[in-house]
Amino acid sequence: MGLGWRLLARPVISRLDSERSHDLALGTLSKFDKSNFGKSVLSRMYKSPELPIHTLGRLFHHPLGLAAGMDKGARALSAWPALGFSWIEYGGITRYPQDGNPKPRMFRANSERALVNSMGFNNPGSSSLRDSLVDRKSSGNWPNVPIAANIGRSKKVDNEQAPRDYSHTLDTLWGHADMFVLNVSSPNTPGLRNLQNEDLLRNVLRECTKVREKYNSNKPLLLKLSPDNDDELISEMADISIKYGIDGIVATNTTISRPEPKNTQSRIAFSQSGGVSGKPLHKRSLEVISNIYNHTQGKITIVGVGGIDSPDSAWKSIQAGASLIQLYSGLVFNGPGVTSSIVRGLKSRVKEYGFSGITEAVGNAHK
């Protein structure tokens, strides 16, 4: 673990009040975001090797990106690549600004290397975020990697009006991301996950693809799924996604299921409402990736997320069928060195297996 991280954020990150630690770390990183010197220092410490993959119409330096929720308001957008990530997903953003659920709403279960959160899409809202992204671009501080925007449903809007709510946010942010993730799977907005039911999902996808048509653009649209759906529903959603021209599936969001707690701290964390992320999620995330890959015969790009924190877990997700991968909790528990160590590990595996590149490893477990 680098000295920089220890000095910067590691001590605060390890306490129990996870949201405060997160805010402090993000605040520090957003200062690096504004300084080219700061970014070059970080980059020297945390740069990842190249392991290129071409997917979703773009070239990624390697498959590993930052998952949604870490930088909801895109405050440190240009600093994340200096921590070794090849692509960044900001958000979840909703049409209207939201405070989210009452605090505390983010808990650690250290023994399980898991987090429980019930944030509830705290975010500045789509118009305000667009304005800050416009300022960022005009000041020349736009990162040189693919950027995804994660879009959620506003809490005050019901599911009948959800298609318009998503498409409005999509329209507002259209010029400010390279691809968009429609998040119908957060457990922390009441009723949101019902949008995974067939008819409601079709309506959301229809409205959102209309926005893309309006701009006569081929920017990718992706759908982020819950690990708590059964395999049949997941296959159905993959079919509907393909039918509506969705380019990729992000598997998965956090789970409402709970592992057996190993101690009192974990018992407290797991008794909170919200979604579990981190190590305990990896097994189910792998199953969902495999299920979608098998069902669609590799026809839709899969982004694997959930419990990736090592070269081994990353390799498994890729072999299960993910072309791209992301992490959130792994960064909290392992510090920023985790990114380059994962990519270095993937690079060695590619060599070990005698593959010409990482693309050959995608879905390899099924061959």
Ligand X SMILES: Cc1cc2nc3c(=O)[nH]c(=O)nc-3n(C[C@H](O)[C@H](O)[C@H](O)COP(=O)(O)O)c2cc1C
Residues that bind ligand X (CB under 6 A): 67-69, 72, 91-92, 106, 115, 117, 119, 121, 150, 183, 186, 224, 253-254, 277-278, 281, 305-308, 327-330
Nearest residue to the partner ligand X, using Cβ: 69
Long-range contacts at 234-240 (CB < 8 A, ≥ 24 apart): 234/288, 234/291, 234/292, 234/295, 235/291, 235/292, 235/295, 236/198, 237/196, 237/201, 238/292, 238/295, 238/296, 238/300, 239/295, 239/296, 240/198, 240/201, 240/202, 240/205
- 222, β-bridge pairs: 181, 248
- HSE-up of 266 (CA within 13 Å, CB side)? 16
SS3 content of the chain, % helix, strand, coil (to 5): 45, 15, 35
| Residue 72 or 258 having the CB closest to ligand X | 72
Active site residue 310: no
| Residue 91 or 163 having the CB closest to ligand X | 91
| Residue 32 or 180 having the CB closest to ligand X | 180
Tell me which residue of 165, 182, 193, 167 sits closest to 220, measured CA to CA: 182
The alpha carbon of 207 is separated from its chain's Cα centroid by a whole number of angstroms, namely 23
Q: Position 86: which residue type?
A: S
Of 18, 21, 167, 186, the active-site residue reads: 186
| Residue 163 or 304 having the CB closest to ligand X | 304
CB of 119 to ligand X, least distance (A): 5
| Residue 87 or 328 having the CB closest to ligand X | 328
Compute the distance between CA of residue 286 and CA of residue 276 in angstroms, rounded to an integer.
15
CB of 327 to ligand X, least distance (A): 4
CB of 175 to ligand X, least distance (A): 21
CB of 243 to ligand X, least distance (A): 22
Tell me which residue of 72, 83, 67 sits closest to 33, measured CA to CA: 83
| Residue 39 or 278 having the CB closest to ligand X | 278
CB of 305 to ligand X, least distance (A): 5
Contact 74, 90 (CB under 8 A): yes
Compute the distance between CA of residue 94 and CA of residue 269 in angstroms, rounded to an integer.
27
Tokens, residue 167: 């498409």
| Residue 123 or 296 having the CB closest to ligand X | 123
| Distances, alpha carbon 202 to alpha carbons 59, 150, 173, 231, 362, in Å | 30, 18, 21, 19, 28
CB of 28 to ligand X, least distance (A): 18
Other CB atoms within a 10 A radius of the CB of residue 27 amount to 12
Q: Position 359: which residue type?
A: T
CB of 121 to ligand X, least distance (A): 6
| Distances, alpha carbon 222 to alpha carbons 213, 247, 248, 340, in Å | 15, 6, 4, 26
Active site residues: 186
